[in-house]
Every structure is written in structure tokens, then in C-alpha cells.
Homo-oligomer: A and B are copies of this chain.
Amino acid sequence: MATGALPGFRDVFPDALVRRRRIFAAWREVAARYGFEEYDGPPLEPVELYTRKSGEEIVEQLYRFVDRGERDVALRPEMTPTLARMVAQRAAQLKKPIRWFSLPQLFRYERQQRGRLREHFQLNMDIIGEAGPLADAEVIAAAVDIVRVLGFGPGDVRARISDRRVLAAALAAEHQVGPAELPAVLAALDKFERAPEAAAAALERTLGGGRQGRAGRLLDFFAGLADPGALLALEAAAPLRECLDALRAMGLGGFVEVDFRIVRGLAYYTGMVFELFDAARSLRAICGGGRYDDLLEQLGGVNLPCVGFGMGDVVLGELLGERDGPPRAEPAVGVFVAVVGEADRPFAIALAHALRERGVAVEYALKRQALGKQLELAASRGARAAVVLGPDERAAGEAVVRTLASGAERRVKITDLEKDYVF
């Protein structure tokens, strides 16, 4: 028997590819509406590109190896370091803000569990060179518009937005959390919803003093974040408020809620962070992103602020699957050209090619077959119509067009078929 695919990798049959193509089309359509240009980079990169600045989880799960030239290389786990390199190469020439997107396949060597994959495709959309909150609103709006294009409304998908600058300001003012402690406190907050006990233990380890001390007060602060009102009124929240206003002006306010419990794992975010979730919260995040104003300088040596997000094909596919059921193959054939006898074949081939020149998806039998068998193949392909060429019709410069759903037939001039006949 054939060697199977590696664990965590997918053989994508045409029926499943229909769904991926639908997702890709939504990604590209919205990116185009928003005036983004597409770029791409290598799926294999030097390990060094990731060990310097990527999040810890990403480095732990690198799909890495030593190549035949003794280089430490990795299948790319994320696109941002490649983006940073590319922007650095052309930073001087590119008109800011740079609005770029890409659809890379990404890889991670994660322990196999519950059908988690080791590869997926991920839309990356980034605005580079603009620090203001309208850029934040722009990428959040694009993410929301993608799920809208796929037919989901605010009852299906929710966007949760936070801003690390607001949290930092509140933590500094109310809990004396300085820049040195902030990452550990944010990491604890990131755990708080899923695993409150682990978050508490982490806080105690970091801050000392037990539940009665600062750790306990911070846990109360975390719990209080369920109501975002107080923090949203802070001066540090002015950019976030402007971002929300813009989303409302676009008519997307119904999708959005402020939730300061959203941290996003990656260490490199510096401001607004956001996630899209299914409303029932039964799946992982549909997308996540935020502002990372320092990363490009650290990675690529150019000091440009950035905001962007990544949206994978897997959760989006699950969401479509919950609503629409398993993906179904689409008919690949529009018109089937059939022959009565072998003498008709050269004419059938010529007609088939003329129809293809018109852009019609055409198939015909590649071997000698009875007309009934040919029509059976046509039906199994889901063709709308069959064109039957026989000696009598040909003598009159005509062919029989049979609508396969109804069985209705009519004679049509071959010159009309070749030109603009609508099947």
C-alpha cells in the first residue's frame, strides 16, 4: 500500500479544497477592498529568524532541522519575521503606510492531540508605518468583514478588543506594577480565564506575599475586568476609544466588545490586541492580532510601527462546517460534448475546444462509448447540458442540446454554440 501522509498533515481532496478555496477567496476579496497588496516569502527559513524574537511557544514548537549545507533551518511557524525582513529591504522606497497581506502555509511541531494539525494556512494582514488607532480599526474591520463575507453576523462571531497600554497604565497607577513586572502579570492575566488557579499561583510566584498581598489584589483586579467601563474611561484608553468610534462609523460596532482580559500570548504586542471568536466559544480563536510597534526594529532594523493579525483556515473551516455541513465538490463540468458515432468525433473535439475558448468548462468521452454511457458520465459530473453531435444534425450544421436536469432537448446551430449560445 501507499505510504500515508505524515501525522498532522492533510491530503486535501477536491471536495475539501472547495472549502479552502472559499476561505481564500474571502481573504483575498476583503484584502482587495481594503487596498492591501499581496506578498509571499519562503516556507523554509533560517532558525535564527525565529529564535531571536518570536514568542516562547513558537520557538519550542519549531519544525526545525539541519539541512544538507549544515544550516539550522525551520519550516516557517509565523510570517511576521519574514515580513520584517522584506520591509527592511525596501523601507526607503515603500510609500507609507504599507498595506500588505499574505496567505502563507505555516508549520509547528506540536505534540499530536485532538486532530490538531502541524500545518495550516494563515492570512496575515498588516499596516506598517502608521501608529494611530485608525490603523488598528482598519485591520479589525477587515477581520470582521471576512467573517461577514462568509455569511456570519454578530450573533455568530464576536470581536474582543483590549489595549495593553490601558492595562499597563491601570496596573501602574493602582497596583504599582512597573515595566519589569508587567510581562509576568500579563502572562498571568492571559491564563486567568482558562485556568484561574494557575494564574493565581503564577502571580504569587512572581510577586510574593501570598493571596493576602499584591497577588490577591491583582486577582481581584483581573476579576473586575469583566466590566471594562472603568478602564475604558482612562486617558490611556483614548486611542482605543477612537478605534471603537471608527468601527462604529463603519457599521461594525455590533460585532465588537471591549474586553481587557484579552492579552494574546505573543510577547511582542505593544498596544491594541484583539481576537475573533465564535459566539458560542466552542472553538479556538478565529483570528488574533494587535499592535507591535517595536518588533520591526528588533527584527529588521527599521523603526516602523505595525498593526496586524493572523487568521487561520482551520477554525474558519470548522465554523463553516458547523453551519453548512461537510464540504461538497462543485460540478467541474458545465457542458458535456457527446457523439453518436466515431465519425462525429473530430467535430465534437473541435466544438469542445471552441466552447473552452469561450470559457465554458467542457468534457467529452476520451474513448469510444455508447451515447447512453456518455450521458451517464455527463450526469455524474454535474454538467448542466450535453451537446450531442450526430451525422444527421451535423449535415444541417446543427447539434442537439440536452438540458440534463429536465431532459429537454433542442436543435441549435453549431456556429451559435461556438459563439454565444447560453446553456
The interface of chain A, by Cβ under 8 A from chain B, is 1-7, 9-14, 17, 20-21, 29, 32-46, 48-49, 63-69, 71, 73, 75, 81-82, 84-86, 88-90, 95, 97, 99-100, 105, 107, 109, 119, 127, 130, 132, 134-135, 137-138, 141, 145, 245-246, 249-252, 299-301, 329, 332-333, 346-347, 349-350, 352-353, 356, 359-363, 366-367, 377, 380-381
Q: How far is the CB of A160 from chain B (nearest CB, A)?
A: 21
A35 engages B381 (CB within 8 Å): yes
A377 to B9, CA, bound (A): 44
Can you list 13 A-B contacts (CB < 8 A)? A2-B300, A4-B85, A5-B42, A17-B38, A17-B39, A33-B362, A35-B361, A35-B362, A42-B119, A43-B105, A44-B107, A63-B68, A250-B350
Q: A134 near B367 (CB under 8 angstroms)? A: yes
> How near does chain B come to A120, taking the closest CB pair, in angstroms?
12
CA distance A349 to B133 in the complex (A): 13
Which 4 interchain pairs have the tightest Cβ spacing?
A: A9-B42, A14-B37, A250-B353, A65-B65
Shortest distance between the CB of A310 and any CB in chain B (Å): 18
A2 contacts across to B, CB distance below 8 A: 49, 81, 84-85, 88-89, 299-301
Shortest CB–CB separation between residue A37 and chain B, in angstroms?
4
Chain B neighbourhood of A145, CB < 8 A = 356
Q: For residue A51, give the distance in angstroms from its CB to the closest CB of chain B.
A: 10
Contact present for B299 and A85 (CB under 8 Å):
no
The answer to whether residues A381 and B95 also contact, given A11-B41, A35-B361 and a CB cut-off of 8 A, is yes
Given contacts A1-B301, A35-B361, A130-B366, contact A40 B65 (CB under 8 A): no
Which B residue sits closest to A42, measured CB to CB? Answer: B9
When the two chains form their complex, are residues B67 and A37 in contact, meaning their CB atoms are under 8 A apart? Answer: no
The answer on a CB contact under 8 Å between A37 and B332 is yes
Chain B residues whose CB sits within 8 angstroms of the CB of A90 once the complex forms: 13
Closest to A64 in B: B68
Q: Whole-angstrom distance between the alpha carbons of A159 and B39 in the complex?
A: 33
Find chain B residues with CB under 8 A from A75 CB.
44
B349–A132 contact, CB under 8 A? no
**Distance from A96 Cβ to chain B, minimum over Cβ atoms (Å):** 9
Are A41's CB and B5's CB within 8 A? Answer: yes
| Candidates B45, B67, B250, B299; contact of A65 at CB < 8 Å | B67
Q: How far is the CB of A144 from chain B (nearest CB, A)?
A: 11
A73 to chain B, nearest CB (A): 6
Starting from the known contacts A32-B332, A132-B367, A249-B346, 5 additional A-B residue pairs (CB-CB under 8 Å) come to A3-B49, A12-B39, A14-B100, A97-B366, A130-B367
Expressed in whole angstroms, the Cα–Cα distance for A381 and B98 within the complex equals 11
In this complex, which of A3, A38, A68, A251 has the most chain B Cβ atoms within 10 angstroms of its Cβ?
Answer: A3
Which of A35, A65, A135, A249 is packed against the most chain B CB atoms within 10 Å?
A35
> Complex: how many Å from CA A37 to CA B141?
33
- Partner pick for A349 among B3, B21, B249, CB 8 A cutoff: B249
B119 near A366 with CB under 8 A, answer: no
> If A95-B377, A380-B95 touch, does A40 touch B67 (CB 8 Å cutoff)?
no
Who on chain B is nearest to A132 by CB? B367
Nearest neighbor of A138 in chain B, beta-carbon distance: B366
- Judge whether B44 and A361 touch: CB under 8 Å: no
> What's the nearest-Cβ distance from chain B to residue A142, in Å?
9
Distance A95 CA – B331 CA, assembled complex (angstroms): 13
Do A21 and B34 contact each other (CB < 8 Å), given the known contacts A11-B89, A65-B65? no
